[in-house]
């Protein structure tokens, strides 16, 4: 399955090298909540997640960002836990925004890279 695709939510990622669409402020609509999964298993994982949250807060037309605590989980392969891989730090953010969904997704991919 292609990166960014899930069986229940088939939104493809913005292709590399492609310009992001213009910001669509959706002025006629109320802000919506988007659920964003955050995770890291390389380097300072806590700092990586905190930096990503700050970058999301700086996005245009983002009104609020609420973040869960950070959860630590083991890496898992198809055959079970991978004790040799670094553990993951994971969190969830609820983002209140007036950005169009594809624009928000593109900006999140830019933060990830």
Digit-coded pLDDT (tens) for 53-107: 999 999 999 999 999 999 999 999 999 999 899 999 999 999 999 998 999 999 9
- CA end-to-end distance (rounded Å), the chain: 20
Q: What torsion do the CA atoms of 69, 61, 25, 49 make, to the nearest 10 degrees?
A: -40
More reliable by pLDDT, 13 or 95:
95
| CA–CA distances in Å: residue 101 to residues 25, 47, 49, 85, 104 | 11, 26, 21, 33, 5
**CATH homologous superfamily, domain 32-112:** 7,8-Dihydro-6-hydroxymethylpterin-pyrophosphokinase HPPK (3.30.70.560)
Domain extent listing, the chain: 32-112
The yes-or-no verdict on residue 18 having pLDDT over 60 is no
pLDDT band at 1 (very low <50, low <70, confident <90, very high): very low
């Amino acid at each position: 399955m292609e990166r960014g695709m899930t069986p229940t939510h088939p939104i493809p990622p913005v292709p590399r090298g492609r310009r992001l669409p213009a910001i669509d402020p959706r002025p006629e609509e109320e802000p919506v909540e988007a659920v964003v999964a955050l995770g890291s298993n390389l380097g300072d994982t806590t700092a990586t997640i905190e930096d990503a949250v700050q970058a999301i807060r700086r996005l245009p037309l983002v009104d609020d960002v609420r973040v869960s605590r950070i959860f630590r989980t083991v890496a898992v392969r198809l055959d079970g836990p991978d004790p040799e891989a670094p553990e993951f730090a994971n969190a969830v953010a609820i983002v209140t925004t007036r950005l169009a969904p594809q624009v928000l997704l593109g900006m999140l991919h830019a933060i990830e890279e």
